[in-house]
């Protein structure tokens, strides 16, 4: 905006520029522009056209007061408040007395200042000297009226497309507002003025303004500025920053002046009073701050300002609206970072920051909301904006401080910073809730949704940093877990402050990848430990029943892996638990498989079957006569397959028992983990309970692998006992001289050793495992006994009368394994020895019947291949091959003759179904 007469020493060039600027005023220009709501720390009204200073305005305001009927005390109060020199005040009063009758008749208007000039010029003739400023000030004041008239004419000409011209007498120049304004501007820049200059200026001004109705009325902003300065009188002149005890009386006495200045209604006068009081409160805050002994001066002043505003009034002149807008912009400025300017919660000692206390903050909130409503703006939205900006500013400070303090050696600085940010942000939310929230919520028209956006904004800003860190893929270690747990504390603090306005952190969606990455690493580590256990284990047999060290180490690794998972205490889907147990299952399979493989190949236990021969009496007699029995095994169980297998069974049984206990603890620990992790989720989040199907068969793979390996080890031990430890007794001694003559039978050669094996096992393992070993021993014994009868070599020949003694052998074997009800189940033993009884039934047949059976079975097997029974552990006896073997071991010439006639038996035959299973 153009300033009039900035320097009295400037030449005509400046005046020309000023006049040109005035001429360039556009048709869309309005004197009082629409109010702006941008936040500002200053409280000011729009600039005037003229270059009137605050001192000039105060002098003019005092001149107005002098024209009003006021007692001497009130006038003196106004003089002191406006800081008018006594000599000047006397001069102004003297001039006012001269034109008082005219004012009484015409009323208060800007003509007062022209009359003061007319009164004062009477004492001058020629140059004005030091008195010229008196006249220039009033000319500048008149320029405000001319400028307002000029703007009005410009706007009118823009709408009518014609220029409105001033009517004048034919004998006088055609004066327009623009011409007069330009001329006054030129004259104000003259280096020296005289009485003629003043008279000429007065004449031009009056000639233009006098023709307009109410032409000497004060323009909006000019009148408001004069009134604001006049209101300085309502403040106590002795005690700083307080209202005078008779402030109300003074304000009432100023009412005629206020009306003359354009403030004709209660709303506009209340706005200007609030403006003046807020301006004084700002000075109090800057000077006194929050360090005061008694009541806060700023609080008392702002409370008066709040009470002066008519919050329900929205019909105001543009000039008054600009004052309301200025108050609103100041309020928004004061609220844009309240966490840093209100103490508490602010605790810094930065003296460059204007600090206020919570009670003052409360009143500023009310003033901001009221002024927004008066301007037709959304007060709730403005306060929400203040909360969001304050939250952003607070978070930026917290973030900057945390990043500066994060000086971690060998650690994740971002992780540490984020943890500090979460902790400090939670503290900020708590501080806001404790000290400031209630002041906003209790303001007229407010609700918790307004304050909720503060916590919501803190959460949104933090989530950006949190998500960026999580997406970088940090390892889940002690440091990162502490940070994630701190996020839960932050979310709880934010929800406690912001309620439903705070969006969930959605940690479960962001941490799932980290959890599965952690699982992959831990499962790989577990497999590495298994490999180390396998490579270092020597399976050294001791006399005690303790598991091998590798089993203990492996179990410890499993426990540590599970405990590590459950100690994460962060949101995780149940599929993560499933993946973990499946990884443990695989590790158990690897370890148990290595325990079986360490025993050696099972294929080498059963020796090859001897060459099938037919009966020749001479050869058999010679073999019987030259027979020498082999000695029973002399080594201890610890030195052989029994000790080695029992050690492995003990170790795997140890793992199985511990795995069972772990399985029982998994679901409770999982639920406990989820309860802890729920503290990291939004309090109002819906918790989904996993289906029971997810937990079915948990660790089933480990149990199955251990059971299968234990069965393989027991089977390996059983066949090793029969075909290695007792190889001499079974393959060489038993029935080698015939059933009747032999002292080598099941009772003497086999069962005593088996009894020792079972006793050794029973001391070290539970009854269930002992019975499993016993079952495989029975199976292996049946296999060895049938090998003797069907593949026993040329010395093993039998006659029909041997069946009775062999049946007694079977019965002894049966009783041994049943053990009077303390051993195997009767049904199981019966099923196992059924093939033995079937062989004896076949041996009891005549040679002719056997030959016929062979013929019938051979023809049948040509069309239907031979298969074992439904239970694959039970041998199928009713085959042509078995019948042929019975005939080969029959001590009859007719049987040998039939075989010779039909076969050429010279080669060794496969072990087939009688071999190791």
pLDDT tens digits for 520-549? 999 999 999 999 999 999 999 988 889 999
pLDDT tens digits for 589-599? 999 999 999 99
pLDDT tens digits for 53-102? 999 999 999 999 888 877 888 888 889 999 999 999 999 998 888 888 88
Report the C-alpha gap between 337 and 896 in whole angstroms: 115
State mean pLDDT over 175-196. Answer: 85
- The pLDDT of residue 213 is 72
Report the C-alpha gap between 811 and 807 in whole angstroms: 6
CB distance 195 to 135 below 8 Å: no
- The pLDDT of residue 3 is 47
Report the C-alpha gap between 88 and 496 in whole angstroms: 64
Poorest-pLDDT segment among 158-167, 333-342, 673-682: 158-167
Q: By C-alpha distance, which of 121, 130, 144, 261 is closest to 202?
A: 121
- The pLDDT of residue 191 is 83
Report the C-alpha gap between 526 and 557 in whole angstroms: 6
Q: Give residue 687's pLDDT band: very low, low, confident or very high (50, 70, 90).
A: low
Residues 6 or more apart whose CB falls under 8 angstroms from that of 350 comprise: none
Q: How far is CA 230 from CA 76, 136, 867, 873, in A?
A: 13, 21, 121, 116
Better-predicted residue by pLDDT, 916 or 303: 303
**Residue 695 has which token pair?**
């937990």
Report the C-alpha gap between 415 and 484 in whole angstroms: 9
**Residue 208 has which token pair?**
């233009």
- The pLDDT of residue 574 is 87
Torsion of CA 118, 122, 126, 129, to 10 degrees: -80
Q: How far is CA 16 from CA 19, 146, 535, 911, in A?
A: 5, 17, 104, 129
How would you label 488-519 residue by residue, b for 16+ Cβ within 10 Å and e otherwise? bebbbbbbebbbebbebbebbebbbebbbebb
β-bridge partners, 50: 4
Better-predicted residue by pLDDT, 1 or 770: 770
Report the C-alpha gap between 387 and 429 in whole angstroms: 12
- The pLDDT of residue 417 is 92
CA-based angle 14:149:135, to the nearest 5? 55
pLDDT exceeds 60 at position 691: yes
Best mean pLDDT range from 8-22, 349-363, 419-433: 419-433
Half-sphere exposure of 515 (CA within 13 A, CB side): 25
Report the C-alpha gap between 914 and 731 in whole angstroms: 13
Torsion of CA 141, 146, 147, 149, to 10 degrees: 140
Average pLDDT, the chain: 84
CB distance 147 to 30 below 8 Å: no
Percentage of residues in the chain with pLDDT exceeding 70?
Answer: 89
């Amino acid at each position: 905006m153009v300033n009039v007469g900035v320097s009295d020493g400037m030449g005509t060039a400046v005046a020309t520029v000023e006049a040109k600027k005035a001429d360039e005023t556009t048709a869309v220009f309005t004197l009082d522009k629409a109010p702006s709501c941008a936040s500002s720390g200053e409280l000011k009204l729009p600039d005037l056209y003229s270059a009137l200073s605050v001192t000039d305005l105060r002098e003019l305001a005092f001149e107005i007061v002098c024209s009003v009927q006021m007692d001497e005390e009130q006038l003196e109060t106004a003089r002191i408040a406006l800081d008018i020199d006594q000599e000047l005040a006397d001069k102004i009063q003297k001039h006012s007395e001269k034109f008082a009758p005219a004012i009484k008749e015409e009323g208060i208007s800007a003509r007062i200042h022209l009359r003061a000039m007319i009164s004062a010029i009477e004492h001058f003739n020629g140059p004005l000297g030091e008195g010229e400023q008196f006249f220039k000030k009033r000319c500048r004041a008149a320029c405000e009226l001319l400028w307002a008239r000029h703007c009005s004419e410009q706007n009118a000409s823009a709408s009518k497309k014609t220029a409105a011209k001033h009517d004048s007498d034919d004998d006088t120049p055609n004066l327009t507002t623009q011409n007069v304004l330009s001329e006054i501007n030129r004259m104000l820049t003259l280096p020296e003025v005289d009485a003629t200059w003043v008279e000429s200026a007065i004449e031009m001004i009056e000639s233009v303004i006098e023709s307009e109705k109410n032409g000497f009325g004060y323009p909006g902003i000019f009148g408001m500025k004069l009134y604001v300065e006049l209101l300085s009188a309502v403040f106590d002149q002795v005690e700083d920053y307080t209202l005078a005890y008779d402030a109300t009386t003074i304000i009432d006495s100023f009412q005629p002046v206020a009306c003359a200045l354009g403030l004709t209604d209660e709303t506009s006068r209340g706005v200007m009073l609030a403006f003046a009081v807020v301006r004084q409160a700002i000075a109090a805050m800057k000077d006194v701050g929050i360090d005061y002994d008694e009541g806060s001066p700023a609080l008392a002043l702002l409370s008066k300002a709040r009470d002066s505003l008519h919050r329900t009034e929205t019909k105001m002149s543009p000039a008054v609206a600009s004052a309301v807008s200025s108050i609103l912009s100041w309020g928004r400025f004061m609220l844009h970072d309240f966490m840093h300017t209100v103490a508490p919660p602010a605790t810094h000692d930065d003296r460059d920051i204007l600090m206020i206390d919570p009670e003052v903050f409360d009143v500023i909130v009310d003033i901001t909301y009221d002024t927004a409503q008066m301007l037709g703006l959304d007060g709730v939205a403005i306060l929400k904006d203040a909360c969001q900006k304050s939250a952003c500013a607070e978070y930026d400070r917290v973030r900057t401080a945390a990043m500066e303090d994060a000086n971690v050696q060998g650690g994740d600085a971002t992780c540490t910073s984020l943890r500090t940010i979460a902790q400090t942000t939670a503290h900020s939310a708590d501080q806001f809730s404790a000290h400031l929230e209630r002041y906003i919520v209790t303001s007229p028209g407010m609700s918790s949704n307004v304050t909720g956006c503060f916590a919501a904004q803190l959460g949104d800003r933090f989530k950006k940093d949190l998500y960026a860190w999580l997406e970088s893929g940090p390892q889940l270690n002690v440091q990162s877990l502490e940070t994630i747990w701190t996020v839960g504390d932050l979310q709880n603090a934010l929800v406690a402050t912001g309620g439903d306005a705070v969006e969930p952190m959605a940690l479960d969606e962001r941490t799932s990848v980290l959890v599965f990455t952690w699982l992959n690493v831990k499962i790989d580590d577990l497999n590495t430990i298994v490999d180390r256990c396998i490579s270092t284990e020597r399976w050294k047999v001791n006399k005690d029943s303790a598991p091998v060290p590798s089993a203990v180490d492996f179990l410890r690794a499993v426990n540590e892996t599970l405990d590590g998972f459950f100690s994460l205490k962060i949101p995780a889907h149940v599929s993560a638990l499933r993946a973990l147990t499946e990884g443990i299952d695989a590790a158990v399979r690897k370890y148990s498989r290595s325990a079986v493989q360490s025993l050696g190949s099972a294929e080498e236990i059963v020796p090859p079957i001897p060459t099938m021969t037919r009966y020749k009496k001479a050869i058999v007699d010679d073999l019987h006569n030259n027979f020498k029995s082999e000695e029973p095994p002399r080594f201890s169980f610890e030195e052989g397959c029994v000790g080695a297998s029992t050690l492995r069974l003990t170790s795997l049984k140890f793992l199985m028992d511990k795995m069972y206990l772990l399985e029982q603890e998994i679901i409770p620990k999982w639920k406990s983990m989820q309860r802890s992790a729920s503290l990291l989720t939004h309090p109002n989040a819906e918790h989904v309970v996993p289906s029971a199907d997810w937990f079915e068969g948990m660790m089933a793979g480990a149990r199955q692998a251990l059971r299968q390996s234990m069965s393989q080890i027991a089977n390996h031990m059983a066949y090793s006992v029969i075909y290695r430890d007792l190889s001499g007794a079974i393959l060489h001694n038993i029935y080698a001289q015939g059933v009747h003559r032999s002292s080598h039978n099941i009772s003497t050669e086999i069962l005593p050793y088996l009894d020792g094996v079972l006793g050794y096992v029973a001391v070290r393992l539970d009854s269930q495992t002992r019975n499993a070993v016993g079952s495989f021993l029975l199976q292996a014994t049946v296999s060895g006994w049938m090998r003797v009868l069907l593949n026993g070599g040329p010395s093993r020949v039998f006659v029909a009368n041997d069946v009775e003694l062999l049946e007694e052998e079977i019965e002894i074997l049966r009783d041994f394994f049943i053990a009077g009800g303390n051993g195997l189940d009767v049904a199981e033993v019966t099923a196992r020895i059924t093939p033995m009884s079937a062989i004896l039934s076949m041996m009891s047949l005549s040679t002719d019947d056997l030959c016929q059976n062979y013929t019938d079975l051979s023809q049948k097997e040509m069309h239907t291949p031979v298969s074992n029974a439904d239970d694959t552990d039970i041998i199928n006896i009713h085959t042509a091959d078995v019948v042929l073997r019975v005939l080969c071991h029959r001590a009859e010439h007719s049987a040998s003759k039939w075989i010779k006639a039909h076969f050429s038996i010279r080669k060794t035959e496969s072990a087939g179904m009688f071999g190791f299973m």
